[in-house]
Structure 1
Amino acid sequence: MTSARDGGDVPPIPSIPLSAETPERIAGETSIGGLVRDATAHLSTLVRAEVELAKSEIAGEIKKAVKGSVYFIVALTVLLFSLFFFFIFVGELLAVWLPSWAAYLIDFGGMLAFAGFFAFLGFRKLKKLRAPQRTIESARDTVAALRHRGEAR
C-alpha cells in the first residue's frame, strides 16, 4: 500500500462496521492479533464518539445557561440601580421628622452597614475556599505511577 503523500491510497479511517460480519468470514480473513487490533480500534472509535457527543451536548447546555444567566444579570443590575432611589426615598422620609442633614447621614450610615454586611458575607465565603485536594492527590498518584513505570524499563 502506498502512502497518502505519494498520491496513492488514503489510509483507512477507523470506524465501527455497520453490517454484521459472519464468524466464518472473520476467522478466514484475520488472525487473533488482527481481531484484537480491530476490537481495540472499534472500542477507541466508540469512546471518541461518546466523548464528542458529550462535548456537543454540554456545549449546547452551557450556551443555554449563559443566555439565561444574562437575563438574571440584567435584572440584578436594574435592581442595584434601583437601590439608589430607595435610599433617596429613605432619606426624604427621615427628613420629614429630622433635619435634612441628619436624615441623609442616617441614610448614609444604613448604606454603609448594608455594604459592610454583604462584604462580610463575601469574605466568609471566600475564606471557605480550599484547594481541590482530591484532584491534586490524583494528579500526584498519576505522576508517581508514570515515573515508576518508566523506571521499570
Structure 2
Amino acid sequence: MQLRTENATQTVAWGKKLGHLLQAQDLLLLDGDLGAGKTTFTQGLAQGLGITRPIKSPTFTLIREYQMGRIPLYHMDMYRLEDSSPEELGLSEYFAGDGVVVMEWSQFVADFLPAQYLRIQITRLAQADEQRQLTFQAQGQRYQELVASLRK
C-alpha cells in the first residue's frame, strides 16, 4: 500500500490511525533518509497508543521507552549501533515483550529481525516540501491484516 501526505500534520495523522490498530509484540520498521519523517510518523503512532509524552528521536540513546499509553512503545534507532550489539540491547526480549517496537535503520540489525513485521518506507518527495510518500510492506499474516485495516 502506498499513500501520500502533504505535510507533517497528515504524516502524524496516518501514524495515529495505525497506532490505534497496534497490539503488543507488533514490530514496525521505518526506513527513510535523514529528515524523511520517521520520528514525525512515530509521534502519530504514539498518539494512537495514548502516549501523551513528547516523542523524541532515539538517535543518541538507541532506545527510548514510553510506558504511559495503552501499551508501551519502544522506539529504536540502530544507526549508531557501533558500540553495542543487538544481543547486548536485548532486542529479542523487546520483540517478545509487552509493547510495540518501532525501529529506525533496521538494515543494521537485519540478521536479528523476526520473519514477520511491517516495513514502512518514508520518502521525501521534494527537498523544500513537506510531501511524503509512505509505502507499507507487510511480512506475515498479522501485518497483511493490519495494512488491510489501515486501508479502510
User: If the TM-score is normalised by the length of the shorter chain, which range does it land in?
Assistant: under 0.3
Which is richer in helix?
1
**What is the TM-score normalised by the length of structure 1?**
0.17
Flag the structure with larger Rg. 1
**What is the TM-score normalised by the length of structure 2?**
0.18
Larger relative contact order (C-alpha < 8 A, sep ≥ 6)?
Answer: 2
